[in-house]
Amino acid sequence: MKSNVSQMECLFAIPRNIAEKPLVMKKLPYNFVFPSRNTFFWTGALCTQYVKIRNDGLVAIINDPVKNTAVQNENVVPFVSLDSSVTWNTLPWPQDMYTLDFLYPSKDDNSCDNGACSTLDDGSCLCPVTVSESAMYNSLPTRNEILSNLHIGGFNPSIYSDSSAPYSLVESNSEVDAFSPSVIGDALTVFKVTDEFGKTLYLKNSLVNVTIGNSYTLRNPPAFINLPKVDELDAEYEIEAFLYFLMRHPNTPTFVSKKLIQYFGVSNPSPGYAFRVTQAFKQGVFSKRGVTFGDGTFGNLAAVAAAITLDPEALNVVIDDDPISGNVREPLLKVVQALRSLSFTRRPEVKLAYGLLKDIPWKIGQMVFEPPDQFSFFSSDYSPPGIFSALDMVSPESQLLSMSSVVGITNGFFSLFNFGLSNADGGFGPFMSTKRDVGDYSSSVGHVTYQVNGTDILNKIDDLDNIMTGGRLGAENR
């Protein structure tokens, strides 16, 4: 995770002494929307940093460098420009203890921090910022204190071994190692700890606060992207850190485990089933009858898949009699499973650039890579009206069972068996011919070739039951 090393900085720049004064990014006329195609240059001019605060509490960082008289038509990079900034961030503003409203400089509520900030024409507040950095601890803290209160990553101290001020181990216990070029009580100290997932972290003994206006002091939020000079690599670091955070969220193991159980065939897993799979997710390993799956890594999918498919609730056939066990198969999976189980064979002379299935979303409500939005074809929490809703049970795939999709998949299967894969009588395939002779597959792109085994109708039904439903066809459906 990049946020645990130097790539994570603070949202507001930490001031240094004059000798360490950072250069200010400025630019020539900004002619292209892509930063990499514009010409930038650094100037040693002093730069004042402000925060522009909207009425909804979102903030934009504003840089105000001293103008360079030797350069014509220079402007501040638009990401931190007072006039053109469109990059807004949230801050952890304090809340009113009674109303729980967020408290921040506002023109309407407090006259922009009672005049400490300037009021702009658009009603927002422009506030000065002061950043301070100090050591968080003066003695060796506990592991929990470090993980709870230190948020800025540091490098592994061993890389400083050849520097003029090398780090050394100054104090340690069974959980914490403290490295410093001097003593623990400075902001350069780096603590080595292991988090709850077994990952080694190096965290700086640094507390960085930012004061906005006169009345609002809060922890300087971490940031990855340097707004004056946007870099694609910084964005990748931020995405990686965000995904890392999501994976380590305490709700993630249970949430992901339950969703995967639903996907693999049980819409309403029992709490015990979900718990056992969650444990495999956390531990990264699952064992069954002397066979071990996974390598012990948090979230190992081999362990999770084994825990789902080898769980007693997944293997016990008695549970099949439970009317709420299992799930409804998605329409597209029904079509694909029928084609595979019944040995669909494509006619070799048929070559279609757009695939074999035509307009199938309009017929069954689904098609690969064509969901209606980013949340897939149905809600994972959908509960059909009636007894399912009354019992707080879900059947996500049932959301696709509209009258048109039920009729569409029924017509499609009749067409598949009568005419092969074509569009005849509402079939799933493309238009090939107007010929409509049952049993003649010459006007299709292919047909099912499986030969049903059995000497009589009951044996044939048994054979179809095995290959199509895994032997689960009920007596009333035979």
Please tell me whether residue 132 adopts helix, strand or coil conformation.
strand
Q: Would you state the pLDDT for residue 201?
A: 92
Q: Would you state the pLDDT for residue 179?
A: 93
∠ CA 442-447-451 to the nearest 5 degrees?
120
Q: How far apart are CA 179 and CA 171, in angstroms?
A: 7
∠ CA 327-333-336 to the nearest 5 degrees?
150
Q: What is the DSSP string of 206-253?
A: EEEEEEETTTEEEE--EE---GGG--HHHHHHHHHHHHHHHHHSTTHH
Q: Would you state the pLDDT for residue 406?
A: 93
Q: Would you state the pLDDT for residue 40?
A: 63
Q: Would you state the pLDDT for residue 15?
A: 45
Stated as kind and residue range, the H or E segment containing 6 is none
Q: How far apart are CA 104 and CA 53, in angstroms?
A: 8
Q: What is the mean pLDDT of each run of 10 residues along the chain (478 residues)?
A: 40 44 45 60 73 93 78 71 84 91 93 94 93 92 94 84 74 93 87 90 92 91 78 88 89 95 93 96 94 93 96 88 87 94 91 81 90 88 90 93 93 94 91 82 91 90 90 81
Q: Would you state the pLDDT for residue 4?
A: 38
Asked if 414 contacts 431 with a C-beta cutoff of 8 angstroms, the reply is no
Domain ranges of the chain: 2-136+205-247, 252-321, 331-477
Q: Would you state the pLDDT for residue 337?
A: 94
Please tell me whether residue 53 adopts helix, strand or coil conformation.
strand
Q: Would you state the pLDDT for residue 71?
A: 63
